[in-house]
């Protein structure tokens, strides 16, 4: 059966496209079936479970829902039957009625990485969360923002920024009270500030260490107002291994999602080549040419392709999900033009897509 | 005369980093007798011990270890003093670029400002450079509704030569030109040459600068116009929260300035966006219990059932029958002051309004306007750049209170910042409210 097994294997790229499609599906009732089988699990056990679920489904009150669930279950069992053993990376099955075509469809495949969980559910949407990690680029940058009393830690992953954890601490204000106890009070404020910075370092380590241990953490950027960064580093809460990965400290006034964008922009020189940072940077450059009306910006597919074929383009900006991305990439390569995919997570991505479709930045006028 | 009979004024002290704001405030309070000799002596010794003697006056305000070690103000300091005419709350603001959100909070609570500019060679120039905070603070003060400004041309003892009239004139001319372009009535603004270090022209007329005929700093303070309380009293109650204290024996005490309306002990109030509230148990101003607080009053108040974790800076208190508006979206007339590239749909600057700072995404560029006439020059422009005026719709990324400027002016104006700079300013023309459930504690 080894041939048949490899047939079910899909690549990262295929998985990425499939996930995009599956995430669009939704059902009015809990009729979309998601099944994850990790490697090594006997097929018979899983069959047994599905059979049980089939009889549970008999109790569903609404006829339409009941039939939809049973149809999905039958289809899933039918797929599972074709295996006498779960493939080396495990098996994933999604079954349900496609809301566009109203036909029952089923996807069974073995993903590029090992299935991490055993999971079964019927829901209003598919559970794709366990596959997300597999399509993302493995390398990440840690992002830390810190000020007196507040800390955020997140990741710069392939094409987006993710906030993972927040820590807050109560540090009393300086003009809290005066009088005789002022000095004692000042000391308490100071201790609270130091304790917070230390705690913040511990939280950041806890979040980032797993990535470091997996060998995925390429570097860490730290931002915050003025000297908060130094105080944070000196407080000693940050694990020394994470500390060794610090690429730079940057002045950032706000500890919030906006601060993360600033941090990535300010730290651009240390993380060149990172997809998201490159897209942010290219977008800024494109907007700058637009605003200053320099004549270096071209947009619209025809204009861009014409300029490309004249060898006039330094780079092309194109939405990440553009159907012709690969084709244009191949052609651009011949002219030494860099293609920069713009992921949805770039703030102006939607505007760019709607207003320009694709755009180019010229080497000369 | 009892202090309650004098009108109350909130003064914010602004200007570029290190230009001498804290020193000026410290020295002023000392000369007026609101700081005793013993405290100053103690600070002097401590400052000397750490080789920071020149900061002895500033340390009256800069109490945090971080502030003292670095010689930089981080957060606002509130102090009280009186002059013959007024009862003042003075707010010492930080000049450092990274703490501008604190400065904006201070400015949003003030009726008037003292702008401190250093006359020392090079220092005035860096404050007025493209990156300089002299420039930025003047603009932000204006944006937050401050029309009355006193300019203190500081460090006159450190000009070349000292007490130079020529340097003073040079600075005044440059500032007047800039302030006029922002709409300040520059002929009514006093430009006072002072030394915060020696005390010249703070209370005592300077013998070193006989060429100066204008008022001293304290005289100029008494020439300020009182805020028009009556006008704001008629509007619905709004108190933007500046900080939340816990005070033994009292409990949680939110503090802030009453912008509009009247607050009385026994009133039911609600804090938005969180939607929590209860009955007002006590109101305190200048460490005294009062029964009623009016626009301009800087108060602390205690509300039954509202705890420390329920509210924070940027929330706004109001009466439950006319609660502060939480915006799902808001539309504003904005003016783009600075941007390195272009502002497009999706752009997400930090919006600073009253005491709140929240990242807001631009979801629509409705119209581009002629910045001089306000006439529409383009519908749905594809982007904006520096110098453009436009009607823009924002969506706050987190719940935020903001009001139509026409209804409640102090809560209807804002500044937008990004990458450590002020990108633009705005006036709210419309708000699409978000439904927030109000939960009053019994
Ligand atoms: N020679 C001289 N030095 C002054 C004068 N005023 C202030 N300084 C010095 O300037 C330095 C900065 O003073 P601060 O009062 O901390 O300045 P600041 O504007 O409050 O600074 P930030 O709050 O951090 O923006 C200190 O060393 C002061 O002694 C003055 O009139 N003459
Ligand atoms: Mg200061």
> Which of B65, B98, B350 lies closest to A251 in CB terms?
B98
Both B267 and B407 in one domain: the answer is no
Both B258 and B351 in one domain: the answer is no
CATH architecture for the domain at A140-266: 2-Layer Sandwich (3.30)
- pLDDT tens-digit readout, B382-428: 999 999 999 999 999 999 999 999 999 999 999 999 999 999 999 99
Across the range A231-242, mean pLDDT stands at 96
pLDDT given at position B441 = 77
Both B293 and B423 in one domain: the answer is no
Domain boundary among B275, B301, B318: B318
Residue A88: name the closest of A53, A40, A37 by CA. Answer: A40
CA distance B362 to B344: 7
pLDDT given at position A332 = 96
Domain range enclosing B379: 326-433
Q: A155 and A164 in contact (C-beta within 8 Å)?
A: yes
Domain boundary among B223, B250, B276: B223
Whether residue B439 lies inside any domain: the answer is no
Both B55 and B73 in one domain: the answer is yes
Query: For residue A171, is pLDDT > 90?
Result: no
Cβ-count burial of A254 within 10 angstroms (0-12 exposed, 13-18 middle, 19+ buried)?
buried
Contact B342 A287 (CB under 8 A): yes
Q: Does A257 lie at the interface with B, CB-CB under 8 angstroms?
A: yes
> Which of A186, A256, A290 lies closest to B342 in CB terms?
A290
**The model scores a pTM over 0.95:** no
Q: Is the peptide bond before B161 cis (omega within 30 degrees of 0)?
A: yes
Chain A residues closer than 8 Å to B345 by CB: 348, 350-351
Both B117 and B73 in one domain: the answer is yes
CA distance A254 to chain B (A): 8
Whether residue B438 lies inside any domain: the answer is no
Both B54 and B191 in one domain: the answer is yes
Q: How many domains does chain B have?
A: 3
Query: For residue A178, is pLDDT > 50?
Result: no
Whether residue B211 lies inside any domain: the answer is yes
- pLDDT tens-digit readout, A92-108: 999 999 988 889 999 99
Contact A347 B348 (CB under 8 A): yes
Neighbours of ion ligand 2 (CB under 5 A): B 21-22, 73
For the domain that residue B158 is a member of, what is the CATH number?
Answer: 3.40.50.300
Q: B393 and B362 in contact (C-beta within 8 Å)?
A: yes
Query: For residue A181, is pLDDT > 70?
Result: no
CA distance A134 to A11: 10
Both B354 and B296 in one domain: the answer is no
Whether residue B3 lies inside any domain: the answer is no
The number of the ligand 1 atom at minimal distance from the alpha carbon of B15 is 19
Whether residue B254 lies inside any domain: the answer is yes
Both B296 and B202 in one domain: the answer is no
Q: Does B243 lie at the interface with A, CB-CB under 8 angstroms?
A: yes
- pLDDT tens-digit readout, B161-215: 999 999 999 999 999 999 999 999 999 999 999 999 999 999 999 999 999 999 9
Per-residue DSSP letter, A9: B
CA distance B375 to B103: 33
- Three-state SS at B429: strand
Query: For residue A163, is pLDDT > 70?
Result: yes
Both B154 and B243 in one domain: the answer is no
CA distance B143 to B181: 13
Q: Which residue has the tokens 């979206």?
A: B329
pLDDT given at position B1 = 37
pLDDT given at position A285 = 95
pLDDT given at position A4 = 46
Mean pLDDT of chain A: 91
Q: Is CATH 3.30.1330.30 the right assignment for the domain spanning A272-362?
A: yes
CA distance B194 to B209: 9
Structure tokens at B183: 């709409």
- pLDDT tens-digit readout, B222-267: 999 998 889 899 999 999 999 998 887 888 999 999 999 999 999 9
For the domain that residue B267 is a member of, what is the CATH number?
Answer: 2.40.30.10
Per-residue DSSP letter, B289: E
Helix locations, B12-153, DSSP H: 21-31, 37-49, 65-70, 100-108, 123-128, 133-143
Across the range A40-44, mean pLDDT stands at 93
pLDDT given at position A66 = 93
- Three-state SS at B73: coil
Domain boundary among B196, B223, B250: B223
pLDDT given at position A177 = 52
Measured in Å, residue B17 CA sits from the centre of ligand 2 at 7
Whether residue B442 lies inside any domain: the answer is no
Both B330 and B380 in one domain: the answer is yes
CA distance B358 to B351: 5
Q: Which CATH superfamily is domain A6-135 in?
A: eRF1 domain 1 (3.30.960.10)
Query: For residue B12, is pLDDT > 80?
Result: yes
Domain boundaries, chain A: 6-135, 140-266, 272-362
pLDDT given at position A158 = 83
Both B127 and B236 in one domain: the answer is no
């Amino acid at each position: 059966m080894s041939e048949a097994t490899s047939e079910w294997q899909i690549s990262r790229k295929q998985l990425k496209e499939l996930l995009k499609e599956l995430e669009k599906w939704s059902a009015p009732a809990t009729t979309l079936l998601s099944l994850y089988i990790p490697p090594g699990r006997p097929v018979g056990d899983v069959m047994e479970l599905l059979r049980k679920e089939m009889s549970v489904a008999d109790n569903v009150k609404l006829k339409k829902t009941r039939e939809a669930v049973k149809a999905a279950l039958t289809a899933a069992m039918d797929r599972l039957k074709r295996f006498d053993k779960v493939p080396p990376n495990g098996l994933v099955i999604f079954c349900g009625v496609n809301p566009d075509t109203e036909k029952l469809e089923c996807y069974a495949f073995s993903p590029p990485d090992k299935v991490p969980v055993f999971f079964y559910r019927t829901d209003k949407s598919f559970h794709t969360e366990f596959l997300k990690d597999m399509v993302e680029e493995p390398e990440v940058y840690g992002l830390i923002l810190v000020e007196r009393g507040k800390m955020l830690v997140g990741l710069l992953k392939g094409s987006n920024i993710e906030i993972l954890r927040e820590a807050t601490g109560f540090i009393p204000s300086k003009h809290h009270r005066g009088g005789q106890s002022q000095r004692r009070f000042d000391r308490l404020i100071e201790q609270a500030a130091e304790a917070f910075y230390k705690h913040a370092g511990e939280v950041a380590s806890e979040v980032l260490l797993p990535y470091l241990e997996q060998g995925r953490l390429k570097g860490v950027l730290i931002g915050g107002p003025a000297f908060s960064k130094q105080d944070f580093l000196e407080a000693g809460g940050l694990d020394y291994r994470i500390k060794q990965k610090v690429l730079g400290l940057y002045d950032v006034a706000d500890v919030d999602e906006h601060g993360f964008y600033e941090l990535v922009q300010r730290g651009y020189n240390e993380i060149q080549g990172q997809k998201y940072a490159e897209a942010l940077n290219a977008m800024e450059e494109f907007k700058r040419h637009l605003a200053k009306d320099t004549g270096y910006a071209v947009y619209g597919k025809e204009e861009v392709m014409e300029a490309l074929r004249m060898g006039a383009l330094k780079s092309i900006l194109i939405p990440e999900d553009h159907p012709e991305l690969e084709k244009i990439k191949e052609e651009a390569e011949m002219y030494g033009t860099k293609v920069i995919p713009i992921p949805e997570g770039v703030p102006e991505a939607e505007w760019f897509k709607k207003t320009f479709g694709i755009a180019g930045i010229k080497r000369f006028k | 005369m009892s202090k309650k009979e004098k009108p109350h004024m909130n003064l914010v002290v602004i200007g570029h980093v290190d230009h001498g704001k804290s020193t000026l405030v410290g020295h002023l309070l000392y000369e007026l007798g609101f700081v005793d000799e013993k405290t100053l002596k103690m600070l002097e010794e401590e400052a000397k011990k750490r080789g920071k003697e020149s900061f002895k006056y500033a340390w009256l305000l800069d109490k945090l270890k971080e502030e003292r070690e670095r010689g930089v103000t981080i957060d606002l300091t509130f102090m009280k003093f009186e002059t013959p005419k007024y009862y003042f709350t003075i707010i010492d603001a930080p000049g450092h670029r990274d703490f501008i959100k604190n400065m904006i909070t201070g400015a949003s609570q003030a009726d008037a400002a003292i702008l401190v500019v250093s006359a020392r060679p090079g220092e005035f120039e860096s404050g007025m450079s493209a990156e300089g905070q002299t420039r930025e603070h003047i603009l932000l003060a204006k944006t937050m509704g401050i029309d009355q400004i006193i300019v203190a041309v500081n460090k006159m003892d450190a000009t070349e030569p000292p007490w130079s009239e020529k340097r003073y004139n040079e600075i005044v001319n440059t500032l007047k030109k800039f302030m006029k372009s922002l709409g300040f009535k520059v002929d009514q603004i006093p430009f006072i040459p002072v030394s915060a270090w020696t005390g010249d022209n703070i209370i005592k007329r300077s013998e070193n600068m006989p060429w100066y005929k204008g008022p001293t700093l304290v005289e100029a303070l008494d020439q300020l116009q009182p805020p028009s309380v009556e006008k704001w009293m008629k509007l619905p109650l709004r108190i933007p929260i500046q900080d939340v204290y816990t005070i033994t024996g009292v409990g949680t005490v939110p503090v802030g300035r009453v912008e509009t309306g009247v607050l009385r002990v026994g009133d039911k109030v609600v804090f938005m966006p969180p939607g929590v509230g209860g009955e007002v148990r006590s109101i305190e101003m200048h460490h005294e219990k009062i029964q009623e607080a009016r626009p301009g009053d800087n108060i602390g108040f205690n509300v039954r059932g509202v705890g420390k974790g329920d509210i924070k800076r940027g929330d706004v208190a109001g009466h439950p029958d006319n609660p502060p508006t939480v915006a799902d979206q808001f539309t504003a007339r904005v003016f783009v002051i600075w941007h390195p590239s272009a502002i497009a749909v999706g752009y997400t600057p930090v919006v600073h309004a009253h005491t709140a700072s929240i990242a807001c995404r631009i979801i629509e560029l409705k119209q581009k306007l002629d910045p001089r006439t306000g006439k529409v020059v383009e519908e749905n422009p594809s982007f904006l750049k520096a110098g453009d005026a436009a009607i823009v719709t924002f969506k706050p990324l987190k719940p935020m209170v903001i009001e139509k400027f026409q209804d409640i002016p102090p809560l209807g104006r804002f500044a937008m910042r990004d990458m450590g700079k002020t990108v633009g300013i705005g006036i709210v023309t419309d708000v699409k409210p978000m439904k927030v459930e109000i939960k009053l504690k019994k």
